[in-house]
Amino acid sequence: MKTLYYDNIQAVTQTLGEIYNKHVFNRLLDGKKDLIIVDLGGCGVTGEFFSNYGKVYVYQPAQKEFECLFQTAKDNPNIIPFKCAVSHKQALMQFFGETSLLKHDAPSVSIESITLKTVMLDNKLDKIDLLKVDVCGSEFDLLSHSTFDEVADKIDMIIGKIYPQTNRNPGQITQSLQERGFKVDLFNTSFIAYK
């Protein structure tokens, strides 16, 4: 039996609900195998689910969440965990509460950030079948920056969350992805982009 490690029951409950109750990912992945999946901002819960469909490269900058991810990955050879952020630039960046570039009351910490191109080069990936984006407000910068142009044609499908706290128009993500050849379905605070 596989074990999930996580210490935030509210987040786990929400994620499990999306996966198993609403079947958000099932209808996109049913019948598929040997996929290359990159999970940005992932935890052990999504990594464990996605590992049923292929190899999962999970990037998590927050220490507490990474420890849970690491424990889950120890029991699952299809999950490869990385402790860093993925954003629109390769740099040391200020994160608030370890998970968000959005300024708020939580203390800030410096965390290494890499680009999607670096993810692909470091892991010798020619393509990404599924990119999951849950980057706490950085999705706009990540998916509309010129660094995304370098890899957009190598990604088949993107699923992600949009954080309303950014006070940005979700249409920006739709437009950015459409300009890069994706069809986009927008649902409240999430989206699916595909070719």
Using one digit for the tens of pLDDT, what is the confidence trace for 20-76? 544 667 778 889 999 999 999 987 888 888 999 999 999 998 888 889 899 989 989
Q: What is the reported pLDDT for 3?
A: 55
Residue with the larger pLDDT of the pair 19 and 92: 92
Token representation of residue 62: 């927050």
CATH T-level topology, domain 9-194: Rossmann fold (3.40.50)
Sequence-distant (≥ 6) Cβ neighbours of residue 187 within 8 angstroms: none
Q: Chain-wide mean pLDDT for the chain?
A: 83
Confidence of residue 126 (pLDDT cuts 50, 70, 90): very high
* Residue 102 pLDDT exceeds 80: no
Q: What pLDDT, on a 0 to 100 scale, did the predictor assign at position 163?
A: 74
Domain boundaries, the chain: 9-194
Instruction: Name residue 172's beta-bridge partners.
Output: none
- pLDDT for 137 equals 72
Provide the β-strand partners of residue 166: none
Nearest-angstrom CA–CA distance, 52 and 38: 14
Cα 3 to Cα 73: distance, rounded to the nearest angstrom: 9
pTM: 0.86
Q: What is the pLDDT of residues 137-147, one digit of tens each?
A: 788 889 999 99
AA identity, residue 41:
G
Q: Which of 194, 174, 178 is nearest to 186 (CA)?
A: 174
Closest C-alpha to 135, from 106, 107, 173: 173
9-29 residues labelled b (16+ CB within 10 A) or e (exposed):
eeebeebeebbeeeebbeeeb
